[in-house]
Amino acid sequence: MSSRRAESRYSGCLPEQVKPEPAPPKVSVIVVSHNRAALLRRCLEALEGSEARDTLQIVVIDNGSTDGSQQMEPDFSNIRFMRLPRNFGLTKALNIGIRAADADYLFLLHDDTEVTPGVVSALAAALDAQPEVGAVCPLLVDAAGQPAPQVSDLPPDGVWEPLEPAPEPLEVDYATGAALMFRSFFFKAMRQIDEHYGQFGSDAELCFRIRSAGKKILVLPDVRALHHGRQDTSTLRRADFQIGRSVFIRKHAGFIAGIQARLGAAFRALGGLRLGEFTSVISGQKIDGTQG
């Protein structure tokens, strides 16, 4: 048999050429959204314009939206959408999204935050260059370009302050999760963010763990992102914050201190005649409907 005939006869049995596995993403961006379709679209459009877009994995966790957000998926074919049947609150949705992430760097981004093309790359480069840094953030600005509320104290007190631009990165204890990039091994060490937190408290817990590990949290003043922020509030949002605050205090200052914080919040609400807030804090009812 000629070699040509043999090649023809057995060519169908030759193994297919193995394609190399794609490189893992450098950064996984986690966006949780609930009924804010217009803001979410602007957030994702900004992310799609990022430098080195092919090194980013973008995961959107839709927290039971009913405003048409689910119709957005065909417009962003390179973004993974995960749809939850109802609003599970921010913390549980973050845990779900982070478990789906593949990168060594995790970038938490609120749906009301818009990044410029160089933001994600600049934050990742800062982590690459500084092993002593556990998390980095852009400077958040408002629509007028002025610094927006971004940092607070631990335990959380609900008071957020803007940071003035500075020539060097600013070290902070607690920065909002509206735009926070950190090393994924902090999450792996935690296994998950404590889901006793609801809408509030997950970023405080992350920052506390990073600082407790002896790592820095830096805000990079020359790297900026637009944060629209939320102007409205509600009884459940106020109660959810107080529940989250008492969870943080219980975890890190003891059971009695946590009970005292919760009772104090409840009776302040009662004294202000905010009866719905009082009832929710006492019962522990969070935004997602579960009991804290």
In a domain, 290, yes or no: no
Q: Which residues, in sequence order, are CB contacts of 227 under 8 Å at separation 6+?
A: 110, 112, 113, 140, 141, 142, 148, 150, 178, 179
The pLDDT of residue 7 is above 90: no
So what's the pLDDT on residue 283?
A: 84
For residues 190-211, average pLDDT: 92
Q: Same domain for 217 and 241? A: no
pLDDT tens digits along 31-81: 999 999 999 999 999 999 999 999 999 999 999 899 988 889 999 999 999
Q: Same domain for 99 and 180? A: yes
The pLDDT of residue 5 is above 50: no
**Confidence grade of residue 271 (pLDDT, cut at 50, 70, 90):** confident
The pLDDT of residue 119 is above 60: yes
Q: Same domain for 177 and 251? A: no
DSSP string, 191-260: SS--TT--SSSHHHHHHHHHHHTT-EEEEEEEEEEEE-------HHHHHHHHHHHHHHHHHHH-HHHHHH
Q: Same domain for 175 and 249? A: no
| Residue finishing a domain among 207, 227, 247 | 227
pLDDT tens digits along 67-87: 988 889 999 999 999 999 988
In a domain, 16, yes or no: no
For residues 136-145, average pLDDT: 96
Q: Same domain for 155 and 244? A: no
For residues 269-284, average pLDDT: 85
Q: Same domain for 114 and 187? A: yes
In a domain, 113, yes or no: yes
SS3 category, 170? strand
In a domain, 289, yes or no: no
So what's the pLDDT on residue 10?
A: 42
Q: Same domain for 96 and 192? A: yes
Owning domain of residue 183? 27-227
Q: Same domain for 79 and 185? A: yes
CATH code (residue 196): 3.90.550.10
Q: Same domain for 143 and 107? A: yes
Burial of 7 (0-12, 13-18, 19+ CB in 10 A): exposed
Q: Same domain for 154 and 207? A: yes
Q: Same domain for 73 and 206? A: yes
For residues 199-213, average pLDDT: 94
Give me the number of domains the chain comprises.
2
For residues 175-179, average pLDDT: 96
So what's the pLDDT on residue 232?
A: 65
Report the mean per-residue pLDDT for the chain.
89
Q: Same domain for 152 and 244? A: no
In a domain, 5, yes or no: no
The pLDDT of residue 19 is above 80: no
Helix axes 235-253 and 275-283, enclosed angle (nearest 10) = 40
| Residue finishing a domain among 227, 251, 266 | 227
